[in-house]
Structure 1
Amino acid sequence: MTEAIVNQYWTLLADRHDADAFQTLDAAYREPQRAYHAWGHIVDLLTKLDALGSLATRPDLVAAAIFWHDSVYLTRDPDGRPRTDPENVRASAALFERHSRFDAVEAQSIHDMIMATASHMKAKATTEHYPGFARDLDFFLDLDLSSLAASWAIFERNLDDIHFEYGWVPERAFYLGRVQMLESFLGGGESLYRLPETRALWLEPALANLRRAQAELRERLARPASSA
């Protein structure tokens, strides 16, 4: 964890949470089953928010959504049942609500940003909680997908980290699932990123990474099952 950026933004938010909130987050993002969905992801998004904060009307609320959006992350339940992304998102939103001391409008805004990650590409603001909320929600979702535009080395490492989180899934099934995910992102085309500013920054490298990863995974899947 890069403490400086975390401390910078938590200082803005601490008095709008209960006393146990940060300890809860810290324990969550250090859980041993995590690799990608850990503090590194949160630091990455906060760092980008810091650089692009002028795009947000309420960067403080975007920061709160960043802190809480993956606060619950399991790929399977203790009984072995696969856990869906929407289940994790709902649990993350509920955990935020448990520790929130934001006013009603702010809390609902953060809740809706968190919940938007359950459907990501299809999500949109249904209520303009404050002037600029819809754009803030779009900005937050763009930040959450910004790692798709990382250098290939980082992109590949992120895929490996997600593979670790799904280590219980048979390898071939995991690759099939990743191909489907990549295809869903590629299917979005230019709408992968919502804001013109983030699209200009991230769309081209993200699509290049997605196409390269798709080709490599398809090549693996074309091999005999024992070598995939």
Structure 2
Amino acid sequence: MLAATARLVMRTAVVGTIVTLGSVVATLCILQPLTYECLHLPPLIVKYDKVAVSGCDSRLYHKLLFTNQGAVFYHLADPKKTYTLVMVDPDVPLHGDGYFFLHWLHVGLQGSDLLSGVITTGYIISGYVPPMPPPFTGVHRYMFYLFEETGKGVDRHANIKRFQFNLYKHAKQRGLCGPVAQAMFNTQFSLFTDAFLKNILL
């Protein structure tokens, strides 16, 4: 008999399929190393009050557009699976390679929530914190990563520090795989325009 083989269907989507005699018997999702760059994964859509960001959005936005938590959509979500949503800033000062500032961490999200964009399930480990790039630090990237949970369970009482957050280490310890989707936006410190734009954008 032909021995079982494995192959990656899409390297960027980190999804693999095990085939035996041409028949699909299982789907694998593995944890991939993370970089500071956009990974060109299937797009996660985050809709705010006045703007929506999706995938590798390289445009520069004003930070006030992201004051309130956005609605999150992932059109490839499996309703039977659960996911972990993470928002981080890789450009915050005084953070080493692989470390981020954690802006949002929500675990145990049902796939059905991601299909509808209405989050009613899971647990908020770290509540949403809007962008707050310090002065003289240039443009900051704010990245959303969506991981698939593998059934190891989630620790709703985990003590997570926002500063020096090691996303890869966290994902590995929690048995996450992916990321399976991503979104990002860019913004920067803008003291002189905040007062003027606040009445327009909010």
The higher relative CO (CA closer than 8 Å, separation ≥ 6) is in: 2
**Given the two structures, how large is their TM-score scaled by the length of structure 2?**
0.24
Q: Which has a greater percent of strand?
A: 2
**Given the two structures, how large is their TM-score scaled by the length of structure 1?**
0.22
